[in-house]
Structure 1
Amino acid sequence: MPQLPGGGGNRAISKAIHSRLHYPTRAEQLGIEGVVMVYFVVTKTGEIRDEKIVRSIGGGCDEAVLLAVRDLPRLIPGTRQGQPIDVGFTFPISFRMQDSKTDLLDTLNRVYPLVNQMPHLPGSTSGVAITQAIQRALVMPAEVANDTLVRKVFVGFIVGPSGVIRDVKIVRGLSANCNAAALAAVRQLPRFVGGKLNGLPASVSMTVPVQFGQLPQKP
């Protein structure tokens, strides 16, 4: 039978689909719970196709299941007599309000180093925008302003689900003045667009470099 790259059989595939689910807001508002039955084919090359809902509960749950199935990694294809073949699956996918609340509390209480949607500044999803904003806010200490060797201070912080940063600290520093300037620049960052894990708000830890010295001028 087809397998995920890490193995585990049908149970692992079902778990992978559930881990990618986002409980639709409309379903929560309407109190919709139940089981969606989804069918799909794992091709002889491990790709997923022909995915469709064979039992619906509405409220956006069907669409959420299809998105989760399409987000699965390429599988190891099934074989018959040593040759890869197409294999059809039907999986039951459960929606329970209690699961949604538990998942939400988990993502709010834990701090993750990596999530599906990383925190970012408004107007740009690029991490470069964060470092550029810090450099613009940085007040360069006189002791390093003329240094031709560019050095870095690394600052760590947590971006909460609402996008507010907290627990700003030096991860790797230089002098006391450079460390203080780096912390001050990071604390001037605007509110982020908060990170999300599987569609749920999450706290995310981040580390950014702050450069000191004569930075190269843009042409």
Structure 2
Amino acid sequence: MIKRLQFVFIFVAMGLYAQPPKDSIYTYQAVEIKSSYPGGMTFFNQYIAENFKIAKHTDFKGGKLLVDFVIDTTGAVSDVRILRDIGFGAADEAKRILPLSEKWIPGKQNMKKVKVRYAFPLTLPAYDPALDVDDHIYDDKEIDELPDYPGGRNAFRMMVAKNFDIPDFDKLSGKLLFSFVVETDGSIGDIKIINDLGYGSGQEIIRVLRLSEKWIPAKKNGKNVRSLFKMPIKFGKE
């Protein structure tokens, strides 16, 4: 479920000097070419909004959770630190979802990839029982009606084929396997690459999937539910 949350991300400089510290981790303002999230911060914010689970407790009144983390030279998130906690498991949840995000485009100093540390306050709303729905992600065997794409699965495959484009397309061989969650409102989230064929194929299918129209969500007992959808795309000769 995409929670109706307001997330405010404000990047905070952790240092003002161009020289790297002893552990060779640059700050956001000090590095020459800054790390960036594929598709921009709008997509990163969307990832957080879709995956951050706030405490289901009436005493949780929300607040600002101050977090920082390192984008390493591979683009992975590491060394997540909690600079200011607000309790109710918010710190553990931030540590869980940040390393699971899609890999970033690494920062550079003197044209070389370097580690960069970011810091930001994450503003979380108070728990609202009225917005609480079934968070369980159902598989095909658990639901009464499968999720579907407007026009059917073939229309979805045509949309993917029309928009998928990488320079090394002819080098791809095998099955690119991915999954995503169809939310109760028909949007898709939690995109995961199960089998990446390289040459940028994984990042490209993520980009294409974000162009998708809203799906017709799965149903269980007459109600829309979250469901897991998996799909392979075949390339070359097997």
Using structure 2 for the length normalisation, give the TM-score.
Answer: 0.43
Give the structure with the higher percent helix.
1
* Higher-Rg member (1/2): 1
Using structure 1 for the length normalisation, give the TM-score.
Answer: 0.46
